[in-house]
Amino acid sequence: MRTILEFGRQSLKRSKARTTMASIPFSFGETDQVLVEEKYSTRIFTLNRPNQLNAVSFPMVQFSISAIELFLACEEDHSVKLIILKGKGKAFCAGGDVAAVVRGITQASSNWRPGAIFFRRQYILNYVMATYNTLSNFTIPLQICMKVSILNGIVMGGGAGVSIHGRFCVATENSLFAMPETALGLFPDVGASYFLSRLPGFFGEYVGLTGARLDGAEMLACGLATHFVLSEKLSLLEDALYKADSSDPVVISATISEFSLAPNVKEKSAFHRLNIINKCFSCKTIEEIILALEREAADKDDEWISSTLQSLKKASPTSLKISLRSIREGRLQGLGKCLLREYGLVWTIMRGEINKDFFEGCRAILLDKDKNPKWEPAKLEQVTEDMVDRYFSKINDEDWEDLDLPRRSNIPPYAIAKLQILS
Amino acid sequence: MEKVNFRTQILNGHLQNHRHATSTAAIISASPCVSYVPPEVSEQPFSFDVSSMRKLMDGHNLGERDWLFNLMVQSKLFNPRLRGGKVFVVPDYNHSMEQQREITMKRIEYLLDHGVFKGWLTGKGPEAEMKKFALLEVIEIFDHSLAIKIGVHFFLWGGAIQFFGTKRHHDRWLSATENYLIKGCFAMTELGHGSNVRGIETTATYEANTGEFVINTPCETAQKYWIGGAANHATHTIVFSQLNIDGNNQGVHAFITQIRDENGNVCPNIRIADCGHKIGLNGVDNGRIWFDNVRIPRENLLNSVADVSPDGKYLSAIKDPDQRFAAFLAPLTSGRVTIAASAVYSAKISLAIAIRYALTRRAFSITANGPEVLLLDYPSHQRRLLPLLAKTYAMSFASNYLKLLYVKRSPQLIKTIHVVSSAFKATLTWHNMRTLQECREACGGQGLKTENRIGQLKGEYDVQSTFEGDNNVLMQQVSKALLAEYVAAKKRNKPFKELGLEHINRSCPVIPAQLTSSMLRSTQFQNDIFCLRERDLLNRFAAEVSQYQAQGESKESAFVVSYQVAEDLGKAFSDRAILQIAIEAENNVTDASIKNILGLLRSMYVLVTLEEDAAFLRYGYLSTDNAAAVRKEVAKLCSEIRPQALALVSTFGIPDAFLSPIAFDWVAANSWSTVEN
């Protein structure tokens, strides 16, 4: 087993030549945070911060850089046919370590820049993951290299960002997916406005606004996962994948399918309520969505509706409005544009000039853990259209730098097909 | 469980397809062959902010527009199809006429269920109207049939109730219409009479003893024709008839008549037949209606302009039948407003597709062993598409102006609205048809596939030059109105102060003998030459008509024989009005990069008009030398606009899903793996 250090450096020169990351300082400070194994033509990346649920950490800004370099390196390394991405412990990845980001900002006399850089690098990573294998140089046919993410545990926020955009996502009975950002005063980012908006009907709005948790069976049913494998079979699956020694998506799919099940979606699952979800979450505004849900609740006593309403009422009103608009715009755009928009939003949020809900949310949920955030504005009707517009408008700020996505071809057809064909 | 199996099957099927893809793709890509490079990768970065420009283009209600796009994209009813890794929502035009009608009705029900039509008739004020326009435009971007079927129900039937009816009609019908409890249609046109509404032959005779009107179709040419919604779905209609009271004809009036019961069966004494298959708009069930002495209550007369008392007295505040008729039809301008706006969006769809394709498709190398050249890098291809793009920008501002003019209507503005909407409806729809044809040809064979939209749009939009007033008839009305203005000003020796003719009060502009590039691009020159043409043609038209009248011709026949100048004048008015609107829009912009590109587009709009309209040479507004300078400048502008072409079509607010496969990865969309075996 080679370490990340060796592997990364070896291929670094080649990738530097054609990626935009070349100007960013590069170091491998925290080598143990991601483990890389090499087996035949397969590389296994293991997120290795089990005590922090493999959260993408603040010093681990470097992680993103390393990861981008590593992934691009693998893409260029013709001997690599398959990448397996997994997490150590009970989480795949619980997301970006936003608590650390916020602590950094609040302690370092409101220096929000490292936070912005953190998100910036994360989004570039998301983009690289999603466009994996699309030839950036259009004349040389490259060896195709596939990616399989094994989501055996918690997949939240940033964790979804590094996995869902890829070709194969394997869920298990331990999978737990959520985009909980609205409860934190943030919004579903990491390209979620792209993948949530492509779930069936208006399920994406439901998942993104309420932070609803999905299990493995639900992930498979709605299209967030491509396969479901029981965790006890995972080591066999990995062995089979090494041995398959192939980058052919049909072979890989067939290999995973040998271990796959078609699990029942639990009776109480929200996925069985697509009709109500489509009816309510297709409404134009958050206020109308809540009104529609309340109307449904008046018709029948339903625990699911009341808990859905509860989540919406607990979330930051500003976050809800930003999130809804971001998902709606995302549905009509490509992933690149989605990430650019999300980066603009997160930048404005980090600046904290329009409101500070993100810091308040992190304080209440992650730092002080009093679970009682004081949102400002506190009511939906106080969040005016003008305020929301300001988050979405062009940033006139001398510090502003647009997200410089690597120039790659469109998202490969399969990346979209996975989600769209189901809806 | 069933769902999961279904999913697995789909996924498997999808992956099976991939097998062919990878094995054959490997062989194919081994040789250096043409590959698809997205224009976003190959083109220069945009020089202006696309989303700010979109705000200018769409003008209003962007959030509502995106919401409706979302609703359509997420529903199977809108026929989502996966092509080249992207989902496109375009109607299946290979459906039979009956299938298209059925799915169109289902789409309406879906939009209704999701609250799209909320407030379309019960909402009040300019804001509600602008929102309604925006949503209708989005619907039109998906499918013209869907928009027209909705337009007939809300704008024609609903509009007639609103504008021709009074409180009793509003209370009974507006909310019911908004919720589709009834389905309305609008029976004005007859087999024998279309644009000439006053000549229709259907009669409505009042019977005082029963308090009823008797509606009758006296002859075959009086059958109602092209009535959208009548063939399959409509339950009620507005029927236009000659009102007879005690043997006196009081002119054309509108009445509400039920034509189907709640189960969809045709009512007694009504006969309905289909208009049959058409070159487009087959999702609209156009029908023909005959009335066999159908009896309707007196209250069904739409009585905002004139009424009949129970004992059979004709009551109207407007004594002059000409004025009465004009007052009566004035509110129908909304149809022309929406048509003009939708023509612009249709042109935008075709330009976005054709320009994106021209930025990715190559043909012929111009050097030995060199790479083939991108279509849009050929100056000739630029000359075909970029002037149409510039005109579309100018007309986009014009349509936004027209909408605002309409929603702020007042009795003082009726004449202006009538003239401007007539001129713009004709100009913008003609422009659309021309753009569609050019874009179709610019896409070569791909333009012929209905999935690529442009070719199909020709059939779908051709009707626009005919309905709500034939374009030629409308343009003649524009010239007539201008002449009336002229006569009135001369007679009273007063300055012009309406219809933008104020420039005639000033001294006649002089065009320099030697036009330089910077003069050609100045708003001063551009405004001068358009105003010069308009005032001169108006003088000529007035002179010609009065000359014929002096020879003993009637005013009407003098108009008829002066059609050549009349046509030139109508165009001159329209072009000048559009230019002034575009200049104003440009002046309101503060962002320098946007102002800059709008300036280029405006110059292109003017110069290409100078190049194409023979009137400038015919009447000597341009010398032949200056005409040559204009032509040179057009070519120069093409090369200056070329680098911004992608950005310029990215501002149209049309999501990718509503364009077509050739606008994106057309190699993937046509690869073997997508062939259904």
A141 with B30: Cβ contact below 8 A: yes
Q: What pLDDT, on a 0 to 100 scale, did the predictor assign at position A21?
A: 29
Is pLDDT of A387 > 90?
yes
Which chain A residues contact residue B29 at CB under 8 A?
A: 141
B114 with A263: Cβ contact below 8 A: no
B4 with A336: Cβ contact below 8 A: no
Q: What pLDDT, on a 0 to 100 scale, did the predictor assign at position A202?
A: 98
Q: From the candidates B9, B58, B74, which should be mutated to test the interface with A, based on the most A CB atoms within 10 A? A: B74
A325 with B29: Cβ contact below 8 A: no
Query: Which 3 state secondary structure label does DSSP give B253?
Result: strand
What pLDDT digit, counting tens, does each position of B239-255 carry? 999 999 999 999 999 99
Which pLDDT band, with edges at 50, 70 and 90, does A68 fall under? low
Q: How far is A127 from chain B (nearest CA, A)?
A: 15
Q: How far is A280 from chain B (nearest CA, A)?
A: 9
Is pLDDT of A414 > 50?
no
| B64 HSE (CA, 13 A, CB side) | 21
Catalytic residue among A8, A95, A153, A158: A158
What pLDDT digit, counting tens, does each position of B78-112 carry? 999 998 888 999 999 999 999 999 999 999 999 99
Q: What pLDDT, on a 0 to 100 scale, did the predictor assign at position A72?
A: 67
Report the relative pairing of strands B184-187 and B236-245 from DSSP bridges. parallel
Is pLDDT of A380 > 80?
yes
A333 with B29: Cβ contact below 8 A: no
Q: Which two tokens stand for residue B189?
A: 């046109």
The neighbouring-strand residues paired with B183 are none
Taking CA atoms, what residue in B is nearest to A324?
B67
Which pLDDT band, with edges at 50, 70 and 90, does A307 fall under? very high
The predicted model gives B557-565 an average pLDDT of 96
Which chain B residues contact residue A138 at CB under 8 A?
A: 35, 37
Q: What pLDDT, on a 0 to 100 scale, did the predictor assign at position A8?
A: 34
Q: How many residues does chain A have?
A: 423
Which chain B residues contact residue A127 at CB under 8 A?
A: none
* CA atoms of A150 and A84, how far apart (whole Å): 7
Q: How far is A250 from chain B (nearest CA, A)?
A: 6
A331 with B63: Cβ contact below 8 A: no
* CA atoms of B161 and B175, how far apart (whole Å): 11
Of A139, A334, A393, the CB nearest to B32: A139
B38 with A410: Cβ contact below 8 A: yes
Of B10, B35, B66, the CB nearest to A328: B66
Q: Name B502's Cβ contacts closer than 8 Å, sequence gap at least 6.
A: B495, B496
Q: Pick the residue with more confidence: B387 or A50?
A: B387
Which chain A residues contact residue B665 at CB under 8 A?
A: 410, 413
**Is residue A222 a contact partner of residue A192, using CB atoms and an 8 Å limit?**
no
Q: How far is A259 from chain B (nearest CA, A)?
A: 14
Q: What pLDDT, on a 0 to 100 scale, did the predictor assign at position A258?
A: 96
Which chain A residues contact residue B41 at CB under 8 A?
A: 407-409
Give backbone dihedrals phi and psi of B310, rounded to 5 degrees, phi first: -55, -35
Q: Which DSSP helix (H) or strand (E) runs through B297?
A: strand B294-297
* CA atoms of A73 and A65, how far apart (whole Å): 12
B14 with A417: Cβ contact below 8 A: yes
The predicted model gives B259-285 an average pLDDT of 97
Q: How far is A140 from chain B (nearest CA, A)?
A: 8
Name the packing angle between helices B2-30 and A413-420 (round to 10°): 170
Catalytic residue among B190, B460, B468, B534: B468
Is pLDDT of A135 > 60?
no
Q: What pLDDT, on a 0 to 100 scale, did the predictor assign at position B369?
A: 86
Q: Pick the residue with more confidence: B20 or A350?
A: A350
A410 with B71: Cβ contact below 8 A: no
What pLDDT digit, counting tens, does each position of B210-250 carry? 999 999 999 999 999 999 999 999 999 999 999 999 999 99
**C-alpha B148: how far from chain center:** 11
Which chain A residues contact residue B38 at CB under 8 A?
A: 409-410
Q: What pLDDT, on a 0 to 100 scale, did the predictor assign at position A249?
A: 83
- Annotation marks residue A353 as catalytic: no
Q: How far is A417 from chain B (nearest CA, A)?
A: 6
Taking CA atoms, what residue in B is nearest to A251?
B19
- The reply, when asked if residue B228 is annotated as ligand binding, is yes
> Dihedral angle at the C-alpha atoms of A308, A311, A314, A317, nearest 10 degrees?
-80
Residue (of B367, B371, B358) closest to B34 by Cα position: B371
Which of the residue ranges A56-65, B158-167, B415-424 would you say has the lowest mean pLDDT?
A56-65
Q: From the candidates B10, B14, B110, B646, which should be mutated to test the interface with A, based on the most A CB atoms within 10 A? A: B14
B19 with A414: Cβ contact below 8 A: no
Q: From the candidates A250, A289, A394, which should be mutated to test the interface with B, based on the most B CB atoms within 10 A? A: A250
Of A221, A250, A284, the CB nearest to B67: A284
Q: Name B373's Cβ contacts closer than 8 Å, sequence gap at least 6.
A: B362, B363, B364, B365, B366
Of B36, B51, B85, the CB nearest to A417: B85
What pLDDT digit, counting tens, does each position of A191-222 carry? 999 999 999 999 999 999 999 999 999 999 99
Which chain A residues contact residue B7 at CB under 8 A?
A: 220-221, 223, 422
Q: What pLDDT, on a 0 to 100 scale, did the predictor assign at position B610?
A: 98
B22 with A264: Cβ contact below 8 A: no
Of A220, A249, A413, the CB nearest to B22: A249
Q: What pLDDT, on a 0 to 100 scale, did the predictor assign at position A71?
A: 67
Q: What pLDDT, on a 0 to 100 scale, did the predictor assign at position A41?
A: 86
Q: pTM for the full model?
A: 0.91
Q: How far is A34 from chain B (nearest CA, A)?
A: 31
A139 with B71: Cβ contact below 8 A: no
- As to burial, measured by CB atoms within 10 angstroms (0-12 exposed, 13-18 middle, 19+ buried), residue B5 is exposed
- As to burial, measured by CB atoms within 10 angstroms (0-12 exposed, 13-18 middle, 19+ buried), residue B268 is exposed
What pLDDT digit, counting tens, does each position of A82-123 carry? 889 999 999 998 887 777 777 777 775 567 777 788 888 888
- The reply, when asked if residue B247 is annotated as ligand binding, is no
Which pLDDT band, with edges at 50, 70 and 90, does A171 fall under? very high
B5 with A262: Cβ contact below 8 A: yes
Q: How many other CB atoms are there within 10 angstroms of residue B80's CB atom?
A: 18
What pLDDT digit, counting tens, does each position of B633-649 carry? 999 999 999 999 999 99
Classify residue B362 by its DSSP letter: E
**Is residue A270 a contact partner of residue A218, using CB atoms and an 8 Å limit?**
yes
* CA atoms of B517 and A113, how far apart (whole Å): 48
Q: How far is B658 from chain A (nearest CA, A)?
A: 9
Alpha helix locations (H) across A77-141?
A: 98-107, 113-130
Q: From the candidates A329, A383, A400, which should be mutated to test the interface with B, based on the most B CB atoms within 10 A? A: A329
**C-alpha B320: how far from chain center:** 33
Of A138, A220, A331, the CB nearest to B37: A138
A144 with B22: Cβ contact below 8 A: yes
Q: How many other CB atoms are there within 10 angstroms of residue A188's CB atom?
A: 30
Query: Which 3 state secondary structure label does DSSP give A249?
Result: helix
Classify residue B225 by its DSSP letter: E
- Annotation marks residue B109 as catalytic: no
ipTM of the modeled complex: 0.87
Catalytic residue among A69, A77, A97, A181: A181
The predicted model gives B417-431 an average pLDDT of 97
* CA atoms of B446 and B441, how far apart (whole Å): 9
Q: Name B487's Cβ contacts closer than 8 Å, sequence gap at least 6.
A: B542
What pLDDT digit, counting tens, does each position of B157-187 carry? 999 999 999 999 999 999 999 999 999 999 9
Taking CA atoms, what residue in A is nearest to B32?
A139
Q: From the candidates A219, A284, A286, which should be mutated to test the interface with B, based on the most B CB atoms within 10 A? A: A284
Of A141, A223, A407, the CB nearest to B29: A141
- The DSSP result for B413-447, as a single string, is GHHHHHHHHHHHHHHHHHHHHHHHHHHHHHTGGGG
Mean pLDDT over each residue of chain B, to the nearest integer: 93
